A and B are shown apart, each in its own frame.
Chain A
């Protein structure tokens, strides 16, 4: 985190550099006025404090037109300068380079899903090659979310029903945080993803490996379930390591006895798990909110079976 401990524009992306430059420019102006006004305030307060035993004889000063003009005009000019600088960079940030590769981003409570041009879909992890401009075309499946990469100084709300976009030009390899910046419900603060920027050769190798895995095809049901779980973003709400998130963990879920909000206790067998996918809010585990979306219709029966097979492996 170079920012804001050093006054140097971050070079991790094109926008980060430009935005930081504007930031430093405003900081300089704001700093000047900060020192000026606070300095005068404190100086006057000390200099003109009432001294003991001295009769107060203050001058009858009611104003000064020249001064009023000065402190209207000079700040106005500086404000226009700030506006113009901020505007120029903003326009640049909103105008994608024509050769930008397009990636579809789908937000849903509480997962990010990224779909690459080759058709692969990955949840909560975005990999980009270094130096390649990318345009993210974003839409939400439910409420408004906010796509935010602090290191890139880039942010855009993601709306249901209409596309918004953001374009990036990564300039340094590394791993960066992606946050949801627009409050979207219970799991809002856990709706995080990772941006991994890789040098071109590594990126190509990664893509090839992923495609090969996909073509290898014949997956076992449990493997297929794992892939489904990841692409549907199940990991946004359910952990597989035993820690509770927005929803209960899936570790050791199969065959375990769970207590419901009704106080009733049931065994999490195939039927319970199927129902939890299709009618998630009918039988909610105690201590959790009834907020899971239903997958009825969006998951086929064999996909549900695959997911259950996957859950059986999570011991």
Chain B
């Protein structure tokens, strides 16, 4: 495949041939829907990223600066809510998942294409409502803790409704994927011949279907609290503010696995291709995804050790929390073992995948301090926590997403990006990321609380370091996106299989034709048959 001469003419743009608004807005092609999700989510990544830069800019000085404390609170709320609900949750599952699940399992579309389009548009409707609330912006933090969120004058009711719609989109997408993976796999593709990205997406979809309704009802109750005066979360009316936190985290903890599992799936695809080795411990990685999804439902209380929850509950949740670390650790060991005796090349997808592993190890290990009861009491709600989840979410998920974007860019667009620019962007992103977020661990250990518009002067030095780091990070991201956009227009035409991968998407043209495959492939082997056993290619 690798030496296959490039046959795609510039005129044959595969699924991209048709033009015009209607051809996109009313499409039922999972690839086009995936592309629309990519643009939407990356758009919000940029917006929320700019907000983050503003926040960091303000934190250059400890006292009042630039804008009021209230504005700061609004900005960190918007930064968090947009990053979580409009970018990171849909970014890999809905965007890359939509595009690549059918391609990786060898079918022509998802199980319910019409539902898929509907999911996209309620996502957009939810965004419209959410963005509409900017008229009276929220200042509750993305966690919306009651009773503050039930009292503040911000547009919490409208926002609840917007997020309810976004949640519905998430549920329907997950449902669609579950059914697709169950029923649409190419002939010969048994469960153990599925690419690990599919396993990851399957586990992700299960979480989406089972946890999102709880946040949906929680938002409804929050709205009802404000509109009808129901007092479920209001102690003055006999309600319990902790009930809100339980509901909130029952969703919001599993959902961190919605964010991270797909990224782990991408890493599991990229590492073997660029190490030219079979993935090490296929079944262990596959089952660890399911284990994470399962245990992930039982640990939400570790966000509440100091909330006033009973000590016994804290103990149980802490115990369970440590068991999420086991399957997570397994994945890391297996990826590293995959590198052993490989023949590794360092193209940009691999660089991002390796930095995923590097940064996620730091994110994971610092999680131990948060999972252990005694130390959590100290670092909870401090910058230590901020650093920890940025290492897992940005250092993890976003690096995974960047790996995926580079890895699949040739397939999605039919063009290659500039590797030199991609590498320079990578240097800036990874070093800028560490300079931005590593100091926050120390700040947190020294006791600087999160969500502080103004802070004691003794914390200034490290805050300055972090702010300067954020500029490098931003510059790296700008170069990366500029490279993508430039390559979209005039990058060299991509071969069908530029990375010599064995998964099914590489067997079709770049970009794929409207129904993905000219002929549905028959699968006879697992997709990681690299290495010397594999002299003759499959087929």
Residues of A participating in the B interface, judged by any CB pair closer than 8 Å: 1, 3-4, 18-19, 22-23, 26, 29-30, 33-34, 37-38, 40-41, 44-45, 48-50, 54, 56-64, 67-68, 71-72, 75-76, 79-80, 82-83, 85-91, 93-94, 142-144, 146, 148, 150-151, 153-157, 159-162, 164, 177, 179-190, 192, 244, 246, 287, 289-290
Contacts of A79 in B (CB 8 A): 322-323, 325-326, 368
- Chain A residue at smallest Cβ distance from B345: A50
Contacts of A62 in B (CB 8 A): 278-282, 528
| B531 CB–A CB distance under 8 Å | yes
B171 CB, nearest partner CB in chain A, Å: 28
Q: Is the CB of B378 within 8 A of A155?
A: yes
Contacts of A56 in B (CB 8 A): 276, 343
Residues of B participating in the A interface, judged by any CB pair closer than 8 Å: 64, 68-70, 73, 139-141, 143, 145, 147-148, 151-153, 235-236, 241-242, 275-284, 305-308, 311, 314-315, 318-319, 322-323, 325-326, 329-330, 332-334, 336-337, 339-346, 354, 357-358, 361-362, 365-366, 368-369, 371-378, 380-382, 442, 445-447, 449-456, 458, 528-534
Q: Is the CB of A188 within 8 A of B275?
A: no
Q: Is the CB of B377 within 8 A of A90?
A: yes
Give complex CA distance A213, B432 in Å: 57
- Chain B residue at smallest Cβ distance from A187: B69
B300 CB, nearest partner CB in chain A, Å: 16
Q: Is the CB of A61 within 8 A of B377?
A: no
* 6 residue pairs from A and B, CB less than 8 Å apart: A44-B344, A68-B330, A82-B371, A142-B151, A160-B147, A183-B450
- Chain B residue at smallest Cβ distance from A160: B235
Q: Is the CB of A38 within 8 A of B358?
A: yes
Contacts of B373 in A (CB 8 A): 86-87, 89-90
Q: Is the CB of B276 within 8 A of A58?
A: yes
Give complex CA distance A18, B378 in Å: 11
Give complex CA distance A75, B319 in Å: 14
Contacts of B323 in A (CB 8 A): 76, 79
Give complex CA distance A237, B198 in Å: 54
Q: Is the CB of B452 within 8 A of A189?
A: yes
Q: Is the CB of A148 within 8 A of B147?
A: no
- Given A63-B281, A64-B281, A86-B372, 4 additional A-B pairs, CB 8 A: A37-B336, A57-B343, A79-B322, A181-B449
B302 CB, nearest partner CB in chain A, Å: 11
**Residues of A contacting B: mostly:** mixed
Given contacts A75-B325, A162-B235, contact A67 B358 (CB under 8 A): no
Q: Is the CB of B322 within 8 A of A143?
A: no
Give complex CA distance A240, B315 in Å: 46
Question: Which 9 A-B residue pairings sit nearest by Cβ, starting from the closest?
Answer: A161-B235, A150-B447, A86-B372, A90-B373, A56-B343, A89-B374, A60-B533, A60-B531, A189-B452
Contacts of A61 in B (CB 8 A): 277-278, 280, 337, 340-341, 531
Q: Is the CB of A94 within 8 A of B311?
A: yes
Q: Is the CB of A87 within 8 A of B315?
A: yes
Residue of B64, B339, B528 touching A48 (CB-CB under 8 A): B339
Q: Is the CB of B336 within 8 A of A44?
A: yes
B345 CB, nearest partner CB in chain A, Å: 5
Q: Is the CB of A38 within 8 A of B361?
A: yes
Q: Is the CB of A4 within 8 A of B442?
A: yes
Residue of B306, B322, B329, B533 touching A155 (CB-CB under 8 A): B306
Residue of A26, A60, A151 touching B278 (CB-CB under 8 A): A60
Q: Is the CB of A161 within 8 A of B241?
A: yes
Contacts of A18 in B (CB 8 A): 374
Q: Is the CB of A179 within 8 A of B449?
A: yes
Residue of A71, A91, A188 touching B329 (CB-CB under 8 A): A71
Q: Which of B236, B277, B365 gathers the greatest number of chain A CB atoms within 10 Å?
A: B365
Q: Is the CB of B322 within 8 A of A41?
A: no
Q: Is the CB of A90 within 8 A of B241?
A: no
- Chain B residue at smallest Cβ distance from A49: B344
A70 CB, nearest partner CB in chain B, Å: 9
Give complex CA distance A165, B357 in Å: 41
Residue of B236, B281, B336, B375 touching A41 (CB-CB under 8 A): B336
A148 CB, nearest partner CB in chain B, Å: 6
- Chain A residue at smallest Cβ distance from B530: A58
Q: Is the CB of B382 within 8 A of A181?
A: yes
B456 CB, nearest partner CB in chain A, Å: 7
Q: Is the CB of A19 within 8 A of B377?
A: yes
Give complex CA distance A8, B342 in Å: 42
Give complex CA distance A94, B277 in Å: 51
A118 CB, nearest partner CB in chain B, Å: 28
Q: Which of A23, A64, A87, A183 gathers the greatest number of chain B CB atoms within 10 Å?
A: A183
Q: Is the CB of B354 within 8 A of A45?
A: yes
Q: Is the CB of A189 within 8 A of B374?
A: no
Q: Is the CB of A185 within 8 A of B372?
A: no
Give complex CA distance A75, B322 in Å: 10
Q: Is the CB of A189 within 8 A of B451?
A: yes
Contacts of B70 in A (CB 8 A): 186, 289
Q: Is the CB of B342 within 8 A of A58?
A: yes
Residue of A1, A67, A146 touching B337 (CB-CB under 8 A): A67
Given contacts A49-B345, A56-B276, A59-B531, contact A159 B308 (CB under 8 A): yes
